[in-house]
Amino acid sequence: MGMLSGYDKIEQEREAKYGKRYKWIALSNTTLGGLMAAINSSILIISLPALFRGLGVNPIVSSNIGVLLWILLGYLIVSSVAVVSIGRLSDMFGRVKLYNLGFLIFTVFSVLLYASSYLLTGTIGVFSIIILRLFQGLGGAFLIANSTAILTDAFPSNERGKAMGFNQIAAVGGGLAGLLLGGVLASVDWHLIFLVSVPFGIAGTIWAYLALHEIATIKKGQKIDVYGNITFAASITIILLALTYTLLPYDGRSMGWTNPVVISAIALGIILMGLFVYIEGKVKDPMIHINLFKIRAFAAGNFSLLLAGIARGGLQLMLIIWLQGIWLPLHGVSFSNTPLEAAIYMIPLIIGFLIFGPASGYLSDKYGARLLATIGMGINVIGFAALSLFPADFSIIPFEIAIFILGAGQGMFAAPNTAAIMNALPPEQRGAGSGVRATFTNISFMFSLVIFFTILVVGMSSSLPGTLYKGLVSENISQSVAQQISSLPPTTALFTALLGYNPLKTIIPANALSTIPSSNQAVIFGNRFFPNLISLPFMDGLRIVFIIAAIISFVAMVVSALRGPKYIHGTKR
Do 91 and 237 have their domain in common?
no
- Measured distance CA(242)–CA(265) in Å, rounded: 6
Where residue 19 falls (left for φ over 0; alpha for ψ -120 to 50; beta otherwise) is left
557, 561, 562, 567 alpha-carbon torsion, rounded to 10°: 130
Q: Say how many CA atoms lie within 13 Å of 455 toward its Cβ.
A: 20
Q: Dump pLDDT digits (tens) for 541-573.
A: 889 999 999 999 999 999 999 987 776 665 544
What is the b/e burial string over 109-143, where b = at least 16 CB atoms within 10 angstroms of the residue's CB?
bbbbbbebbeeeeeeebbebbebbbbbbbbbbbbb
In terms of average pLDDT, the best of 91-105, 260-274, 485-499 is 260-274
Task: Give SS3 for 57.
Answer: coil
Q: Dump pLDDT digits (tens) for 413-444.
A: 988 888 888 888 887 787 778 788 888 888 88
Q: Is residue 569 part of a domain?
A: no
In terms of average pLDDT, the best of 244-248, 261-265, 368-372 is 261-265
3-state SS string over 310-335?
HHHHCHHHHHHHHHHHHHHHHCCCCH
Whole-number pLDDT of residue 567? 63
Q: Answer whether residue 333 shows pLDDT above 90.
A: no
Q: Is residue 10 part of a domain?
A: no
Instruction: Give the pLDDT mean for 30-52.
Output: 82
Radius of gyration over alpha carbons of the chain, in Å? 24
Q: Is residue 573 part of a domain?
A: no
User: Residue 294 CB: number of other CB atoms within 10 A?
Assistant: 9
Do 364 and 492 have their domain in common?
no
Instruction: Give the pLDDT mean for 235-256.
Output: 84
Whole-number pLDDT of residue 60? 67
List the CATH number of the domain containing 330.
1.20.1250.20
- How many domains in the chain? 3
Do 382 and 441 have their domain in common?
yes
Do 92 and 147 have their domain in common?
yes
Do 277 and 161 have their domain in common?
no
| Counts for the chain of helices (H) and strands (E), in that order | 25, 0
User: What does each C-alpha distance from 192 to 54, 78, 111, 211 come to in angstroms?
Assistant: 12, 23, 11, 29
User: Which domain range does residue 347 map to?
Assistant: 18-224+285-461+540-561
Q: Answer whether residue 14 shows pLDDT above 70.
A: no
Q: Answer whether residue 142 shows pLDDT above 50.
A: yes
Q: Residue 96 is which amino acid? A: V
Q: Answer whether residue 530 shows pLDDT above 80.
A: yes
- Using alpha carbons, select from 71, 86, 68, 75 the residue that is nearest to residue 39: 75
Whole-number pLDDT of residue 294? 85
Do 295 and 403 have their domain in common?
yes
Instruction: Give the pLDDT mean for 36-58.
Output: 81
Span of 6-10, 269-273, 542-546 with lowest mean pLDDT: 6-10
Whole-number pLDDT of residue 31? 86
Do 275 and 238 have their domain in common?
yes
CA 71 to chain centre: 14
Do 376 and 525 have their domain in common?
no
Whole-number pLDDT of residue 404? 95
- Using alpha carbons, select from 421, 443, 444, 442 the residue that is nearest to residue 432: 421
250 φ, ψ (degrees, to nearest 5): -145, 130
Q: Is residue 264 part of a domain?
A: yes
Q: Dump pLDDT digits (tens) for 396-415.
A: 999 999 999 999 998 899 88
Q: Is residue 566 part of a domain?
A: no
In terms of average pLDDT, the best of 73-82, 146-155, 210-219, 403-412 is 403-412
Q: Among residues 284, 303, 320, which one ends one of the domains?
A: 284
Do 334 and 430 have their domain in common?
yes
Task: Give SS3 for 206.
Answer: helix
CA 448 to chain centre: 9
Q: Answer whether residue 3 shows pLDDT above 70.
A: no
Q: Dump pLDDT digits (tens) for 451-492.
A: 888 888 887 877 888 888 888 888 888 888 888 888 877 777
288, 289, 295, 298 alpha-carbon torsion, rounded to 10°: -10
Whole-number pLDDT of residue 1? 41
Q: Give the chain's mean pLDDT.
A: 84
470 φ, ψ (degrees, to nearest 5): -65, -40
Whole-number pLDDT of residue 15? 64
- Using alpha carbons, select from 354, 384, 357, 399 the residue that is nearest to residue 176: 354
Q: 311 or 495, which is more confident? A: 311
- Global pTM reads 0.83
Contact predicate 124/55, CB 8 Å: no
Residue 423 sits at the vertex; the CA angle it makes with 420 and 429, to the nearest 5 degrees, is 125
Q: Answer whether residue 253 shows pLDDT above 50.
A: yes
Do 401 and 503 have their domain in common?
no
- Using alpha carbons, select from 382, 386, 361 the residue that is nearest to residue 172: 361
Farthest-apart Cα atoms in the chain, separation: 91
User: Residue 179 CB: number of other CB atoms within 10 A?
Assistant: 29
Q: Residue 44 is which amino acid? A: L
Whole-number pLDDT of residue 240? 86
Give the sign of the dihedral formed by CA 478, CA 483, CA 486, CA 489. Answer: negative
**Percent of the chain residues topping a pLDDT of 90:** 21
Q: Is residue 385 part of a domain?
A: yes
Q: Dump pLDDT digits (tens) for 158-212.
A: 788 878 877 777 766 677 778 778 878 888 888 898 888 888 889 888 988 888 8
- Measured distance CA(273)–CA(268) in Å, rounded: 9
Do 50 and 159 have their domain in common?
yes
- Measured distance CA(314)–CA(452) in Å, rounded: 6
Task: Give SS3 for 143.
Answer: helix
253 φ, ψ (degrees, to nearest 5): -100, 155
- Measured distance CA(501)–CA(50) in Å, rounded: 11
Q: Dump pLDDT digits (tens) for 206-230.
A: 988 888 888 877 777 778 888 888 8
Q: Is residue 118 part of a domain?
A: yes
Whole-number pLDDT of residue 4? 45
Do 42 and 71 have their domain in common?
yes
CA 442 to chain centre: 6
